[in-house]
Amino acid sequence: MTTPHTSVTGNLRVPAPFNESPRDFAPGSLEATRVLKEIDRVRGQVRELPHVIDGERLPLAARTNVVAPHDHGHVLGHFSPAGEREVTAAIEAALRARPTWSRTPWWDRTAIFLRAADLVTGKYRDELLATTMLGQSKTFHQAEIDINELADFFRYNASFAAQIYDTQPQSVPGAWNQMDHRPLEGFVLAITPFNFTAIAGNLPSTPALMGNVVVWKPSEKSALSSEVVMRVFEEAGLPPGVINLVHGSGADVTAVAQQSPHLAGITFTGSTAVFRQLWKSTAANIDRYRSYPRLVGETGGKNAVIAHASADPEALVTALVRGAFEYQGQKCSAASRTYIPRSLWASVEAPLVETTANLRVGDVTQHETFVGAVIDGASVRRLEQAIERGKALDSHQLLVGGRTRSEEGWFVDPTIFQTTDPHAITMSEEFFGPLLSVYVYEDDEWDRTLRLVDQTSDYALCCSVFAGDRRAISQALDVLRDAGGMTYVNDKPTGASIGQQSFGGSRGSGTNDKTGSPLALQRWITGRFIKETFSPAHDWTYPYMGQRG
């Protein structure tokens, strides 16, 4: 492979990034009509979803169905689970691409992903929306903000990369100091979740933007939209082998990747339990690696909304409904537990329960739907068990919901428990579904309640504080400093915007590498310091030594 070169000179500046504006999709609008037409087109096909290795699409062997969660009898596509042969081929393809890609000028790499952003919001926008709605059961709005976020990642990451490359050490007369922001030596394994097409595209593209080569294992549940994202990469000009897509079991793909001495890093979004296992298995293989693999993980959350007596009750109800039940609670940032003072609960309970009871659950292609299906039957069974555990506790009262059904789609009604036990499982364990638990505290126990929020759960992803009293806000921000990587004041805990609120949590919620900021990109580079001396010394002695002779 030849080393790339360019005739471009000058200190190049990337275009200023911006957040893509979501469309409204009002019934009968042009955008709604277009997307519904695209949904019909996608629904009328059974797509082949092959591995893409070194730019080649491998024929399918054994077939696994991809279905619509809200209509699980409808097959949308097929993929073949990767075995050792396919994963090894993907690793080898990535390593072949590395010498050229790692030396490609950063502005050329950046241009590819800026073009990808325009393809996402242009040519492929409706197809990405339709495949996300059908394959992941997202409503018009939830799918739209997901796809927009993918474009936001590409644009803002380009700007962040330019900032990083512009960071150079100070030089002194007679010497020139330089920092070479090198990509990691080897390949990066990207394991992406089902719940965000944006994350599925961002995790492999961020290391690639910084000059790394990638093996990408998307969730089997998002295989439909991931195939479209891969086509976007290719049409944007990404060379073969830079990102290699393999479908199948995360455990199977990881087992092969961790045997390679060239594993340079793993970027992961998913459950805390799986990430901890990844950490352990990587450590168990540490002696075989040429370098210490970088591990980046964004995992679970048990996100709290805590209200002070001075909070706006209407704003609180809106935040709880949206924060807990949008996308069926299948966001790591979803509101899952809330602490409300007794004086405020009197004006919050009825509208919260009534609004939740009236949320439309069903087919996401219908405009009236607010809550779609959970991702699969296993999720229904897991959430059923959680609901039954709550019902069995004397400390719990079921306020609304609790119903599940799986005949045509995998549906779980938005469910709210009220508990008198702030340490109960519903206040501490992540359920990753439309379940919200309420603890009503006495108004004079604000201090104690803040400590409960901090100490009850193993997670530290998101917190929301609702208050009108500035002293209460300041106190909450202080006590909850380590309880969340994201703290919102008078807003729901979901919906972080790229370039505005960089995302990530600590404790059991991950490595807090702040997706949507330069910090996330820095994990995928390793510095080389270069000093060039213009007038080298010719005398080995120092003045303190006096004259030689």
Phi, psi values for residue 404, rounded to 5°: -130, 155
- At position 165, the amino acid (one-letter code) is Y
Q: Strand runs (DSSP E) across 11-105, as ranges?
A: 47-48, 52-53, 56-57, 64-68, 71-79
The CA distance from 337 to 463, in Å, is 10
Number of C-alpha atoms within 13 angstroms, CB side, residue 214?
Answer: 29
| Residue of 144, 149, 298, 429 marked catalytic | 298
CB atoms closer than 10 angstroms to residue 168: 11
Partners of residue 371 on adjacent β-strands:
361
What secondary structure, in 3-state letters, does 109-143 show?
A: HHHHHHHHHHHHHCCCHHHHHHHHHHHHCCCHHHH
Cα torsion angle, 117, 232, 198, 412, sign: positive
In the residue annotation, 144 being an active-site residue is answered as: no
The CA distance from 30 to 508, in Å, is 44
Number of C-alpha atoms within 13 angstroms, CB side, residue 237?
Answer: 14
Sheet harboring 47-48: ordered strands across?
47-48, 71-79, 64-68
Sheet harboring 335-341: ordered strands across?
396-400, 415-419, 435-441, 335-341, 303-307, 462-466, 486-489
CA–centroid distance for 377 within its chain: 23
* Residue 335: both structure tokens together: 């509101």
Cα–Cα distances (Å) from 157 to 18, 114, 170, 200, 234, in that order, read 11, 9, 25, 15, 18
Residues forming the active site: 298
